[in-house]
Amino acid sequence: MNPQRAMVIGVLDGVHVGHQALLARAAQGGYRVLAAAFHPHPKTILGHPTPFPLTTWRTRSRELRKQGARVIRLDARSGLLETPALEFIRDLHARQRFSRLVVGQDFRFGHRRSGTAALLQDLGPQLGFEVHVLGDVQVEGERVSSSRIRTALADADLDLANALLGRPYEILGRVRAGQQRGRLLGTPTANLHPQTMLPADGVYVTSSRLPGGRFVPSVSFVGTNPTFGQETRKCETHVLSDPEKAVPDGAGWPLQVAFQARVRGAVRFESPEALQQQIHHDLEVARQHHADHR
């Protein structure tokens, strides 16, 4: 006999511990979990200011699958945002035939966000599914949310951001050609300009996933490289274990970088020599962190 289906709906950006609580409740009793995630962000379609995403669609889908969910993409460009709340939930139920729906207490859906968790509790018995409304998940006494994670990243509070996510924050992208300054300073780097949010400027202990799927210890700089007067923010990542052999040549290859700890903020150095000296210190700090957290 096939297990009954339970549905979770939302943008689900970040797949943070609040989202994970929804997914865990959905799975209780052996239910098969479906995660219906809006993409792109509805605010983009509505012309509202759109926050930097925490996850690409690829990363979000992967993290949802790690939580045991089958992922359904709700294309926000397809007119879904103009669909009346009752019609939206009725059509989704007709297509997916779930018998349980799990949402947070602030969940909104349908045209002009007219649908609420209370409305779902009224509609569920009529349409043939039970509705579970979860209260806020809190970390350090405050509600977990994607916007709180963005604030923590912008404020250089990586420890809090990772606690809210339940895992290290990561970025994903393809390596771009750089100016080879890192190589000239003895620390060759791979340069990323991701489509997701970068944490606050500074140096971080990271782990990097190279082509082939293996994670290797690394250290990353996020910022504009003030010593050389560059203005474009990016992530420059140096692999700690024999980078000449570990890192592919050229640009265009995929790189995933997970941020584990913050080393320091961004500083403008008076000379390349002063920068090089600081880089060597940063590398030692990163190596020690990796050694302590094996």
Domain ranges of the chain: 5-141, 168-292
Residue 48 has pLDDT above 90, yes or no: no
Is the pTM here over 0.85, yes or no? yes
In the chain, the amino acid numbered 12 is L
Query: Per-residue pLDDT tens for 98-144?
Result: 999 999 999 999 999 999 999 999 999 999 999 999 999 999 999 99
Cβ atoms of 290 and 240 within 8 Å: the answer is: yes
Contact criterion met (CB below 8 Å) for 218 and 240: yes
- Whether the link from the prior residue into 40 is cis, omega within 30° of 0, is yes
Superfamily holding 168-292: Riboflavin kinase-like (2.40.30.30)
pLDDT at res. 246: 64
Average pLDDT over residues 207-214: 88
Please name the residue that has the structure tokens 């090089």.
276
* Whether residue 77 has pLDDT greater than 60: yes
More confident residue, 169 or 43: 169
pLDDT tens sequence across 217-270: 999 999 987 655 566 899 999 999 876 656 777 788 899 999 999 999 998 888
Give CA–CA dist 61/70, Å, rounded: 9
Strands 100-104 and 5-10: parallel
- 130 contacts: CB under 8 Å, gap ≥ 6: 99, 100, 101, 124
Between helix 117-127 and helix 85-96 the angle, nearest 10°, is 50
5-141: which CATH topology? Rossmann fold (3.40.50)
Count the alpha carbons within 13 Å of 67 in the hemisphere toward its beta carbon: 31
Question: Mean of the per-residue pLDDT values for the chain?
Answer: 91
Indicate the pairing of strand 108-109 with strand 32-39.
unpaired
SS3 assignment, position 247: coil
Q: What is the pLDDT of residue 251?
A: 82
Choose from 49-53, 157-161, 214-218 the range with maximum mean pLDDT.
157-161
